Copies of this chain bind each other. A is one copy, B any other.
Amino acid sequence: MQKASEPKKRANLRDVAKAAGVSVATVSRVLNEPGLVKKDTLEKVQAAIATLKFVPSAAARAINSGRTRFVGALIPTLDNAIFARFLAALERKLSEHQLSLVVATTDSNPDTEAEKAKSLIDIGAEGLIVTGATHCAAMHDLLERTMIPTIITSFYESDNALPTIGYDNAAAAQLALHHLAELGHKDIAVVHGPVRDNDRTRARLDGLKTYVFDGKLTTFETQISHQGGANVADHICSLPRLPDAILCLSDVVALGVLLGLQASKISVPEQVSMIGIDDLPTSAVTVPPLTSVHLPVSQMGERAADGLAQWITTQQAPHSEKLHARLIVRNSTRSLL
């Protein structure tokens, strides 16, 4: 099957060694520890590498070192700035640890998540970053079988089997509700993304439900997008009576609601107060600027990167970390007292 002249096969170490008239060990040294090689041998080999356009095979390297130098992140979507910000920090910090990042999106579907996780592991990921603590059975099984270092983010739970690096979602939501309650709001509309397969949203809603105050909460579920927020705003405007305030469990939805209210000529905060969660940079330039609960996602990215890198190199799982959310008061909320 192998004829004398093959058209184009990638050159390997042996080819280079033969071309340079040295052994494979010498070529390997040129690649990894050029200091050990005599100057003119070095040049001979480098010439051969150049003429053969030799590029070392990543797989062959990995097989020896047992390291592929990349990790995977499973996130619900890229279509929300909050994840973009998280990933930016994660990637920056990982690269300080000489690790590349492979991003896979799950569309918040646990089965997709398990599938993508499997393919990340198949292609050699050394560790995983996942969003939230709820996964399907296949995912749990996969993580247990492979024992791949995995950190849960956007979610804090001290006694989880896997380390969690994130914030207390219930507390973040309570921070927002507490602010509204203090301002005297009694009739509050809560707008949130899909509850199904999303433990962060559920935790936030639970936080609201367990917060004790003498007022009414009405929840509205929609898509996490500007469009989704605008749709809910239309619905709320068609109600016989406007709520005192609208609490959005994410800023993306909040901006959508804000635009929707504006389209219906409802003014914020004069007719309704509004508050969000996330504190995206955009929230500082909306009209009016949006009061929000700041979630430290950049910090979360950095801590997750450090934790995972440490776990991979030392085989020692990091401890869970609780990061603190804080209220940023702007002009979309006003006092009713």
A interface residue numbers (CB < 8 A to B): 1-2, 4, 8, 53, 55, 57-63, 68-70, 77-79, 81, 83-85, 87-88, 91, 95, 100-105, 119-124, 145-147, 161, 225-227, 230, 256, 259-260, 262-263, 281-282, 284-287, 315-317
Q: Which residues of B contact A88 (CB under 8 A)?
A: 77-79, 105
Q: List 27 A-B contacts (CB under 8 A).
A: A1-B161, A1-B317, A2-B316, A4-B315, A55-B146, A58-B68, A58-B122, A59-B61, A59-B62, A59-B124, A63-B63, A68-B123, A77-B88, A78-B84, A78-B87, A91-B104, A95-B119, A100-B102, A100-B123, A101-B102, A101-B104, A102-B102, A102-B103, A103-B103, A226-B281, A230-B285, A263-B285
User: Given A55-B145, A63-B59: A70 and B102 within 8 A (CB)?
Assistant: yes
A146 to B56, CA, bound (A): 10
Q: Are A227 and B282 in contact (CB under 8 A)?
A: yes
Residue in B1, B227, B281, B316 whose CB lies within 8 Å of A225: B281
Q: How far is the CB of A113 from chain B (nearest CB, A)?
A: 13
Q: How far is the CB of A128 from chain B (nearest CB, A)?
A: 13
A103 to B1, CA, bound (A): 26
User: Given A105-B88, A227-B285, A281-B225: A121 and B79 within 8 A (CB)?
Assistant: no
> Whose C-beta in chain B lies nearest to the C-beta of A285?
B230
Residue in B91, B282, B287, B317 whose CB lies within 8 Å of A105: B91
Q: Which residues of B contact A281 (CB under 8 A)?
A: 225-227
> Whose C-beta in chain B lies nearest to the C-beta of A148?
B55
Q: Are B102 and A119 in contact (CB under 8 A)?
A: no
> Whose C-beta in chain B lies nearest to the C-beta of A252?
B282
Q: Which residues of B contact A4 (CB under 8 A)?
A: 315-317
Q: Which residues of B contact A2 (CB under 8 A)?
A: 316-317
Q: Which residues of B contact A61 (CB under 8 A)?
A: 59
Most chain-B Cβ atoms within 10 A of its Cβ — which of A95, A101, A161, A259?
A259
> Whose C-beta in chain B lies nearest to the C-beta of A88?
B78
A59 to B57, CA, bound (A): 10
A282 to B223, CA, bound (A): 13
A263 to B268, CA, bound (A): 13
Q: Are B59 and A8 in contact (CB under 8 A)?
A: no
Q: Which 6 A-B pairs have the closest CB atoms?
A: A58-B124, A59-B62, A78-B84, A230-B285, A2-B317, A226-B282
Q: How far is the CB of A89 from chain B (nearest CB, A)?
A: 11
User: Given A62-B59, A63-B57, A284-B227: A79 and B68 within 8 A (CB)?
Assistant: no
Q: Which residues of B contact A145 (CB under 8 A)?
A: 53, 55
A286 to B229, CA, bound (A): 11
Q: Are A85 and B81 in contact (CB under 8 A)?
A: no
Q: Are B53 and A146 in contact (CB under 8 A)?
A: yes
> Whose C-beta in chain B lies nearest to the C-beta of A149?
B2
Q: Are B285 and A259 in contact (CB under 8 A)?
A: yes
Most chain-B Cβ atoms within 10 A of its Cβ — which of A122, A124, A316?
A124
A57 to B230, CA, bound (A): 48
A108 to B319, CA, bound (A): 36
